[in-house]
Amino acid sequence: MSGTLLAYPEAFPQSYSRFRSRLRRILEGAGYQSGVSTIIGTAGRSGDRLLMPRLPVNSGYDLALFRAKLAGAYDWLHALQYAWSLRA
């Protein structure tokens, strides 16, 4: 039985395009409709529904910080995350 949503654990290998392409084919074949990666950022309508970025959120955040994250104020962290992933 397949699910419809996948949340990737740990560090998602965003810099490996061949892996992402293969994973996408596997997920589609298994019936997944969407998936969230560990890539920091907000998902948009034009993004890949199986490789969506997400924002870390926890119970210690106040409403102002939560709103800022939803508005895209933290999307710049993705550039740092991507640069770090290239080191591996």
pLDDT in tens, 46-76: 888 988 888 878 888 888 888 888 888 877 7
Q: How far is CA 42 from CA 12, 21, 24, 26, 57, in A?
A: 15, 21, 19, 24, 12
The number of distinct structural domains making up the chain is 1
What confidence score (pLDDT) does residue 3 get?
65
Distance CA 77, CA 86 (A): 15
pTM score: 0.66
What is the domain range of residue 47? 5-86
